[in-house]
Chain A
C-alpha cells in the first residue's frame, strides 16, 4: 500500500510543493455509524487527486468536511492553509465546488448562474462576463445560455455547475462525480479543462466511478472503503491497472446469472 506518500512524487504538479489539502486523523460519526475513520491525506498544489470508493464508502462525507459543510467529529482538515471547520466562510471564498446535486436554482438561466457567481465572489461585471463567455464557449453552452436551469438537460446542468466552480479561479476545486451522466465529448472537454487548471496550479480533488477517465487524468489515487483509506499513491505506483486494483482492494464485483433471461445462445 502506498501510504506515507511524499508530495514531491507528483511530476505533473509543477507549481509548489505545498500541501493544499491536508487531513489529519479525520473522523466523522453519525450516532453509532462511523462514516469516515481516521483519514490521513495530503494533496499537493496543482495535483489532481481522485478519491475513489463504492457508494456509501464515505467519499461525500469527506468532501463535505473538506469544503466546510460538515464539522468533523475529530481530527482536522486544512485546505488552502485554513482549518475548514473553523473558517468555513473564508474557505468558501477560495475554493470551487461541483456538488453531487449540482446546486442550481430552477429560476435562474445558465448565464445568470455565472453572473451570480461573479457578483458573489466580488469579480467585476466586465471580468465576469468575459470569463462566463469563455466558459460557455469552452463547454458548448452558448446556445443554452438563456435557458432556465429547470429546462436544461442533465448534461447542461452539470456543465453549468462546473462553470460556476471554475469561474472564480479557485485555489482548490472539489468535484463530486464530474464525469457521470455526461456525453463523451463533454467529458473530454471537462478533462482537458481540469488538466489545464491543474497546470496553472489549481489543486483538483474529485470523486468518480469512471475509472478509465480517472486513470487518464489523475496524478494521485486515493481509495476508501467503509470509511477507511485503503490506498494512496501516484498513478505510476499502481501495481496493476486501476480497475483491477480497485476491484482487488475496494469492491469485488459478483455477477449473478439472471435465470429468467433463458438459456444463453452462445
Chain B
C-alpha cells in the first residue's frame, strides 16, 4: 500500500502541474474576444471551448508514468489494482462528474448533459489508456509545399494541429458551414463577425510561433544556413495554410487580410519574447496588450476589406511583408 500511495502522491503532483498549463486559456485571444465582446451571448462559444478542453483533461493519469518505469517498480498485484482504481480520482474532472451525478439525480435534462460529458470523458480516458498506434496518420498526411522550406512548413503545420486553438476554430468554421447549408440565410455581417471569431481563435498562435519547437528545434534553427526571414516565412506559410481553409465558409478575402495582420502584429512577441508552449493546450500569447492590439487590428482589417475596399487587403499584405523582413533580422539576433 505504501508503494501505491507514494506513486499516487507523485502522480497527483505531476497532474497538478499539468493542470496549471490550462491557465494558458487566460492568455488566449479567443478567451479575450468571448469574455469582452460576447459576454452572456457567448454561451454557445463557451460550450465549444469546454468541449475542446474536455479531451485533454480526460486522459488517464496513469499514462504519466512511462510503462517501462511502471513495469520496473516492485509492485505486487494488490498495488497495481489500487493504482488502477485510485488513479482516475486524481483527475478533478472525475470528482466533478461524481458531484454532478449526485446533484442531477432525478433531473432529466441534467442527466442528459451528465451523460454527454461522462461519455466524452470515458471515451477519451479509455482511448488514452490504449497504446498509441504507430501511425499518427493525420499528422503524416500534411501536404507537400514547394520550395526549400517544404519540410519546415510541414513541421509547422503539424505543430498548429497540436493546439486546441485549431480545433476551436475548426468547430466554429464547420458550424457556420453547416448553418449555410441547412439553416436560414444569415445576414452578410454575420460572416464578417464569424471571420473575426475564427481568425481571432487562431491569432494567439501567431504570438508564439516558436513555442512548440523546443530546445532541439531552436538548436537546429541555429545550425541551418538560412536567413531569419526564411524561418519566419516558413512559420507564416504554415499558419496561413491552416487559417485560409477555415475562412472559406466565411469571408475569404477579409479572412486572409485578418490572418496577415494577426501575423504582422504577432511577430514581435513571437520573436522577442518567445514563450514555450504545451501541446494539446490553448496557445498563450505575449500578454494582454499584444492580444488587444492584435484583435483590434484584425477586426479593423476584416471590416475594412468586407465593408469598404479590398485595398485594405493590399495594406495587410504590405504590413505583413515589412514585419517578416524586420522581425526576420531579429530572429537571427535572438537565435544568436
- Could you list which residues of chain A lie within 8 angstroms of chain B, going by C-beta atoms? 67, 69-70, 89-90, 92-93, 97, 99, 101-109, 112-113, 115-116, 119-122, 146-149, 151
Q: Shortest CB–CB separation between residue B274 and chain A, in angstroms?
A: 16
The answer for the CA separation of A92 and B332 in the assembled complex, in Å, is: 13
Answer whether A105 and B220 are a contact pair too, CB < 8 Å, given A89-B225, A89-B227, A121-B225: yes
Q: What residues on B are CB-neighbors of A112 within 8 Å?
A: 151, 154-155
Q: Shortest CB–CB separation between residue B153 and chain A, in angstroms?
A: 10
A120 to B226, Cβ gap below 8 A?
yes
B151 to A119, Cβ gap below 8 A?
yes
B223 at the interface (CB under 8 A from A): yes
A107 to B158, Cβ gap below 8 A?
yes
Per CB-CB distance, the 3 closest pairs between chain A and chain B, nearest first, are A116-B151, A103-B220, A92-B225
B326 at the interface (CB under 8 A from A): no
Smallest CB-CB separation from B227: which chain A residue? A89
Answer whether A97 and B223 are a contact pair too, CB < 8 Å, given A106-B214, A120-B148, A122-B148: yes
B224 to A92, Cβ gap below 8 A?
yes
The answer for the CA separation of A227 and B216 in the assembled complex, in Å, is: 26
B241 at the interface (CB under 8 A from A): no
The answer for the CA separation of A11 and B320 in the assembled complex, in Å, is: 57
A102 to B224, Cβ gap below 8 A?
no
Smallest CB-CB separation from B150: which chain A residue? A119
A105 partner, pick from B134, B136, B213, B336, beta carbons under 8 A: B213
Interface size class of B (residues with CB under 8 A): 20 to 34
Q: What residues on A are CB-neighbors of B147 within 8 Å?
A: 119
B336 partner, pick from A69, A101, A116, beta carbons under 8 A: A69
The answer for the CA separation of A106 and B214 in the assembled complex, in Å, is: 8
B110 at the interface (CB under 8 A from A): no
The answer for the CA separation of A109 and B227 in the assembled complex, in Å, is: 23
The answer for the CA separation of A87 and B225 in the assembled complex, in Å, is: 11
- Could you list which residues of chain B lie within 8 angstroms of chain A, going by C-beta atoms? 134, 136, 139-140, 147-152, 154-155, 158-159, 162, 212-217, 219-220, 222-227, 336
The answer for the CA separation of A20 and B103 in the assembled complex, in Å, is: 76
B219 partner, pick from A99, A109, A116, beta carbons under 8 A: A99
Majority SS at the chain B contact face: helix
Q: Which of B134, B151, B217 has the most CB of A within 10 A?
A: B151
B139 to A101, Cβ gap below 8 A?
no
Q: Shortest CB–CB separation between residue B160 and chain A, in angstroms?
A: 10
Q: Shortest CB–CB separation between residue A124 and chain B, in angstroms?
A: 11
The answer for the CA separation of A107 and B211 in the assembled complex, in Å, is: 13
Q: Shortest CB–CB separation between residue A125 and chain B, in angstroms?
A: 10
Answer whether A104 and B226 are a contact pair too, CB < 8 Å, given A70-B336, A122-B148: no
Q: What residues on A are CB-neighbors of B136 within 8 Å?
A: 148, 151
B215 partner, pick from A69, A92, A101, A119, beta carbons under 8 A: A101
Q: What residues on A are CB-neighbors of B149 within 8 Å?
A: 119
Smallest CB-CB separation from B222: which chain A residue? A69
The answer for the CA separation of A109 and B336 in the assembled complex, in Å, is: 26
Q: What residues on B are CB-neighbors of A148 within 8 Å?
A: 136, 139
Could you list 25 examples of A-B contacts with CB < 8 Å? A69-B222, A99-B219, A101-B215, A101-B219, A103-B219, A103-B220, A104-B216, A105-B217, A106-B217, A107-B155, A108-B151, A109-B140, A112-B155, A113-B151, A115-B150, A116-B152, A119-B147, A119-B149, A119-B150, A120-B225, A121-B225, A122-B148, A148-B136, A148-B139, A151-B136
Q: Shortest CB–CB separation between residue A86 and chain B, in angstroms?
A: 14
B148 to A119, Cβ gap below 8 A?
yes
A67 partner, pick from B152, B212, B215, B223, beta carbons under 8 A: B223
Q: What residues on A are CB-neighbors of B140 within 8 Å?
A: 109, 146
Q: Which of B139, B148, B159 has the most CB of A within 10 A?
A: B148
B224 to A120, Cβ gap below 8 A?
yes
Q: What residues on A are CB-neighbors of B134 within 8 Å?
A: 147, 151
Q: What residues on B are CB-neighbors of A92 within 8 Å?
A: 223-225
Q: Which of A99, A102, A105 has the most CB of B within 10 A?
A: A105
Q: What residues on A are CB-neighbors of B214 within 8 Å?
A: 106
The answer for the CA separation of A136 and B200 in the assembled complex, in Å, is: 43
The answer for the CA separation of A112 and B222 in the assembled complex, in Å, is: 18
A108 to B224, Cβ gap below 8 A?
no
Answer whether A93 and B225 are a contact pair too, CB < 8 Å, given A99-B219, A101-B215, A107-B139: yes
